[in-house]
C-alpha cells in the first residue's frame, strides 16, 4: 500500500488519538479492530513472558494469548483517552490480570484440550452449520471439506508475518503454483466485505477466537461464525474461478 | 453573538507566551464568558494541540469552525489537524469550502497543495505550496510548516518507490492570529 504522501505529515500520537476519538465519540466500531491490532504485540509479548515464568503444566502459548487478548479487549473498552494516561501502561495491568486469572482457571483437563483444538472446533461448527442446507449427506460433507480446505490454506498464507521473521512455510510446497494460489487467496481476502475480511485476518492471521472477534465487531459469536462460513465459501468460489 | 473585546483578547494572547496550563485556564474562563466566540475555541484548540491533548484539540477546532464557517484559518488548521491524524478524506471535506476563496488566497493554495500530497502528486504539491508561501505575508509560521513539507516532497520527486522518512511534527501555529479577525 502506498501512503507515502500522507506519511510525510502524520503525527503518530494524533493518529492514535484519532482512533480513540472516532471509537468513543463517533461510534466508528472498526477503530476498535485497528486499536486491537496496534496493541496485539503488547498482549502477545506479555503472554510469552508469563508462559516462560510458569511451570510446564500443559498450557499452550495459544491459551495464554487468548487470555491476553481478552485483557486487551477489556482495556480498550474501559480506557478513557482524555485522561492522559498512555494506553500501553493502562492496558498492561489488565492484560497481566487476565493472563494470571485465566491460567489459574484452566485446570489440567482444559489445558489438554488446548486452544488449537478449540479453534478447530469453532471453525468446524461454523462450516457445518453453513453446510447443512447443501442437500444430501455427501453434498454436506463435500461442502464442509472444501470449506475446511480453504481454512487450512489460510492458516498457511503468511498473511501476517511471524514476529521472529522466520519463514514457516514448508519448503516442499514452495512451488510456483502454491505461491500463486496463496497470492490469489491474500488478494481475495482484501476483496471480501470489510467485516468478513476482518474476521479472516484476526482469526487466521492473529489467532483470535470467534468470541473475541465478536467483541471487536460488536456482534454475537454466532454471527461471527456465520460470516466466517460465508467468507470461506466466497474465497473457495473465487479461488476456483 | 457577544464577541470577546479586543483588549481581553490581547491579554489572552499575552498570557499564552508564558505557561501552557495558565493559558488553557484563562482561555476556558473566557470561553465561559463568550461561549460563541469562535476565536477563543480556535485558541483553545491550538493550545491543546501543542500540549499533546489531541482529542480535546479536535473538539475545540471543530467548534470554532461550526461557530464561524467562514473563519478560514480555523478551517484550514482543523483540516490540517485531521490530515496529520491520518484522516485524509475528512481533511479534504473540511477544506472543501476554502475552494470558494480567491485563487490567490494562500490558505486555498495550501489546501490544494496538501490535497495533491494525499494523492502522492509531489511536483504539484510543491508548486501549490510554494505559490501559497509566496502569497502569504500575514502568517509566516505557517510558511515554515509548508516549507518543511516541500523539502520532504523534493526528496521524494524522482524516486519511484520512495519510502518517506518521518517528517518532524508540524504543529498548529497560532502565528499571525490577530484580535477581532476571523478570516
CATH number, domain containing residue A196: 1.20.140
Contact B67, B40 (CB under 8 A): no
Does A185 or A151 have the greater pLDDT score? A185
Looking at chain B, how many residues does it have? 183
Residue A90 lies in a domain: yes
Cβ distance of B117 and A5 shorter than 8 Å: yes
Residue A129 lies in a domain: yes
Count Cβ neighbours within 10 Å for each residue of A163-173 and write b for 16 or more, e otherwise: eeeeeeeeeee
Residue A1 lies in a domain: no
- Alpha-carbon separation of residue A191 from A180, A195, A201, A204 (angstroms): 17, 11, 12, 16
Q: Looking at the complex, does the CB of residue B8 fall below 8 Å from at least one CB of chain A?
A: no
Contact A155, A205 (CB under 8 A): no
Domain count, chain A: 2
Same domain, A146 and A208: yes
User: Domain range spanning residue A95?
Assistant: 12-112
Q: Please choose, from the candidates A168, A193, A169, the residue with its C-alpha nearest in 3D space to the C-alpha of residue A181.
A: A169
Cβ neighbors of B150 (< 8 A, separation 6 or more) are: B125, B126, B129, B130, B133
Task: List helix spans (H) across B34-164.
Answer: 38-50, 54-67, 72-84, 88-95, 106-118, 122-135, 140-156
Q: What is the pLDDT of residues B151-164, one digit of tens each?
A: 999 988 876 544 44
Q: Looking at the complex, does the CB of residue A11 fall below 8 Å from at least one CB of chain B?
A: yes
User: Out of B53, B58, B152, whose CB is closest to A8?
Assistant: B152
Q: Which of A104-118, A174-188, A207-221, B149-163 has maximum average pLDDT? A: A207-221
The grid coordinates listed for A182 are 496463496
Same domain, A91 and A68: yes
Q: With contacts defined as CB-CB under 8 Å, which chain A residues touch B152? A: 8
Min distance A6 CA to chain B CA atoms (Å): 5
Q: With contacts defined as CB-CB under 8 Å, which chain B residues touch A4? A: 120, 156, 162-164
In angstroms, the first-to-last Cα distance of chain A is 25
Mean pLDDT for A141-155 is 73
Same domain, A43 and A105: yes
Q: What is the pLDDT of residues A187-223, one digit of tens each?
A: 888 899 989 999 988 888 888 888 889 988 888 989 9
User: Out of A7, A10, A17, whose CB is closest to B55?
Assistant: A17
Contact B70, B86 (CB under 8 A): no
Look up cell 492570529; give the residue: B177
Q: Looking at the complex, does the CB of residue A8 fall below 8 Å from at least one CB of chain B?
A: yes
Burial of A240 (0-12, 13-18, 19+ CB in 10 A): exposed
Same domain, A45 and A141: no
ipTM of the prediction? 0.80
Residue A52 lies in a domain: yes
Cβ distance of B56 and A82 shorter than 8 Å: yes
Q: Residue A6: closest CA among chain B residues belongs to which residue?
A: B118
B117 has pLDDT over 60: yes
C-alpha R_g of chain B: 17
Q: What is the pLDDT of residue B32?
A: 93
A93 has pLDDT over 90: yes
Q: With contacts defined as CB-CB under 8 Å, which chain A residues touch B82? A: 18
Residue A196 lies in a domain: yes
Amino acid at each position: 500500500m502506498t501512503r507515502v504522501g500522507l506519511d510525510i505529515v502524520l503525527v503518530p500520537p494524533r493518529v492514535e488519538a484519532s482512533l480513540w476519538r472516532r471509537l468513543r465519540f463517533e461510534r466508528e466500531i472498526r477503530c476498535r479492530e485497528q486499536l486491537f491490532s496496534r496493541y496485539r504485540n503488547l498482549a502477545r509479548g506479555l503472554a510469552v513472558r508469563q508462559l516462560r515464568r510458569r511451570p510446564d503444566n500443559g498450557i499452550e502459548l495459544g491459551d495464554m494469548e487468548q487470555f491476553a487478548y481478552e485483557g486487551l479487549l477489556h482495556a480498550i473498552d474501559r480506557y478513557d483517552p482524555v485522561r492522559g494516561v498512555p494506553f500501553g501502561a493502562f492496558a498492561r495491568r489488565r492484560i497481566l490480570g487476565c493472563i494470571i486469572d485465566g491460567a489459574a482457571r484452566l485446570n489440567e483437563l482444559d489445558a489438554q484440550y488446548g486452544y488449537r483444538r478449540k479453534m478447530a472446533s469453532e471453525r468446524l461448527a461454523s462450516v457445518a452449520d453453513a453446510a447443512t442446507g447443501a442437500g444430501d449427506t455427501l453434498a454436506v460433507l463435500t461442502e464442509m471439506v472444501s470449506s475446511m480446505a480453504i481454512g487450512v490454506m489460510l492458516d498457511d498464507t503468511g498473511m501476517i508475518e511471524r514476529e521472529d521473521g522466520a519463514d514457516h512455510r514448508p519448503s516442499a510446497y514452495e512451488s510456483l503454483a502454491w505461491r500463486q494460489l496463496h497470492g490469489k487467496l491474500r488478494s481475495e481476502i482484501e476483496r471480501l466485505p470489510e467485516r468478513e475480511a476482518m474476521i479472516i485476518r484476526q482469526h487466521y492471521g492473529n489467532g483470535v477466537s470467534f468470541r473475541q472477534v465478536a467483541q471487536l465487531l460488536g456482534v454475537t459469536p454466532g454471527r461471527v461464525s456465520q460470516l466466517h462460513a460465508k467468507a470461506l465459501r466466497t474465497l473457495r468460489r473465487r479461488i476456483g474461478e | 453573538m457577544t464577541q470577546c473585546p479586543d483588549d481581553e483578547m490581547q491579554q489572552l494572547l499575552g498570557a499564552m507566551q508564558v505557561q501552557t496550563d495558565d493559558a488553557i485556564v484563562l482561555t476556558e474562563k473566557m470561553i465561559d464568558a463568550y461561549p460563541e466566540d469562535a476565536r477563543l475555541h480556535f485558541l483553545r484548540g491550538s493550545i491543546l494541540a501543542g500540549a499533546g491533548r489531541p482529542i480535546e484539540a479536535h473538539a475545540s477546532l471543530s467548534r470554532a469552525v461550526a461557530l464561524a464557517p467562514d473563519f478560514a484559518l480555523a478551517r484550514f488548521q482543523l483540516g490540517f489537524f485531521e490530515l496529520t491524524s491520518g484522516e485524509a478524506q475528512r481533511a479534504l471535506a473540511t477544506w472543501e469550502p476554502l475552494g470558494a476563496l480567491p485563487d490567490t488566497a494562500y490558505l486555498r493554495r495550501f489546501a490544494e497543495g496538501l490535497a495533491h500530497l494525499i494523492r502522492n502528486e509531489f511536483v504539484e504539491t510543491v508548486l501549490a505550496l510554494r505559490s501559497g508561501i509566496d502569497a502569504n505575508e500575514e502568517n509566516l509560521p505557517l510558511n515554515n510548516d509548508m516549507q518543511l513539507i516541500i523539502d520532504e516532497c523534493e526528496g521524494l520527486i524522482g524516486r519511484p518507490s520512495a519510502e518517506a522518512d518521518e517528517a518532524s511534527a508540524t504543529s498548529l501555529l497560532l502565528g499571525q492570529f490577530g484580535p477581532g479577525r476571523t478570516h
